Structure 1
Amino acid sequence: MGVKKSLQTGGNLLNLLSSILTVLSTTTNYWTRQQGGHSGLWQECTHGKCSNIPCQNTVAVSAACMVLAATFSIVALGIGIRIQCREAESRRSQNTIVLLFLSGLLLLIALAVYTSKNAWKPEVFFSWSYFFGWLALPFLFIAGFCFLLADMILQSTEAISGFPVCL
Structure 2
Amino acid sequence: MLCGNVVGTITSCLGFVLALTGILTDFWLVDFGAGLFHEGLWQRCSKGDCVRLSGREYIDATRGLLIVSLAFLAFGVLCSSLSFFKVSVGRITASLVAGIMEFISAVFLLIGMSVYTGETQYGVNNGSLNYQWSFFLCWAAVLSLLVAGTSHTFAHVSSPTPGYESV
Q: TM-score, normalised by structure 2?
A: 0.87
Instruction: Confirm or deny: 8 A CA contact 1:73 1:100 kept in the other structure.
Output: yes
Q: In 1, Cα distance between the equivalents of 2:26 and 2:146?
A: 25
* Fraction of identical pairs, as percent: 21
1-side partners of 2:165 and 2:51: how far apart? 63
After superposition, what is the alpha-carbon deviation per residue over 1:94-141, rounded to whole angstroms, capped at 9, x for unaligned? 321221001000111111111111111122110110000011111101
For 2:2, the equivalent position in structure 1 comes to: 5
Gaps of 5+ in 1: none
2:46 corresponds to 1:31: no
Are 2:74 and 1:69 aligned? no
**Counterpart of 2:111?**
109
* Aligned length, in residue pairs: 157
Tell me how far apart the structure 2 counterparts of residues 71 and 30 of structure 1 sit (CA, whole Å): 22
Distance (Å, rounded) in 1 between the aligned partners of 2:55 and 2:107: 23
- Residue identity matched to 2:40: G
- Matched letter for residue 45 of structure 2: C
Q: Which ranges of structure 2 fall in alignment gaps of 5 or more residues? A: none
Paired residues of 1:37 and 1:48 also in contact (CA < 8 A): no
Give per-residue Cα distances to partners, 1:67-119, cap 9 Å, x unaligned. 111221122111110121x24x5461332122100100011111111111111
Q: Which residue in the other structure is 2:44 paired with?
A: 44
Structure 1 runs (4+) greater than 6 angstroms displaced: none
TM-score in terms of structure 1 length = 0.87
CA shift for structure 1 position 158 = 2.3
Letter in 1 for 2:27: Y
Query: Counterpart of 1:106 in structure 2: which amino acid?
Result: F
Q: Distance in 2 between matches of 1:60 and 1:123?
A: 24
Q: Which residue in the other structure is 1:15 paired with?
A: 12
8 Å Cα contact 1:107-1:137 kept in structure 2: yes
* Paired residues of 1:118 and 1:124 also in contact (CA < 8 A): no
What secondary structure sits across from 1:54 in the alignment?
coil
Structure 1 residue 149: Cα displacement: 0.6
Aligned to 2:155: 150
1:140 equivalent to 2:145? Answer: yes
* Whole-angstrom CA distance in 1 between matches of 2:23 and 2:67: 7
Name the SS of the counterpart of 1:158 in structure 2. Answer: coil
1:151 & 1:161 partners in 2: Cα distance?
18
- What's the offset of the Cα at 1:6? 1.1
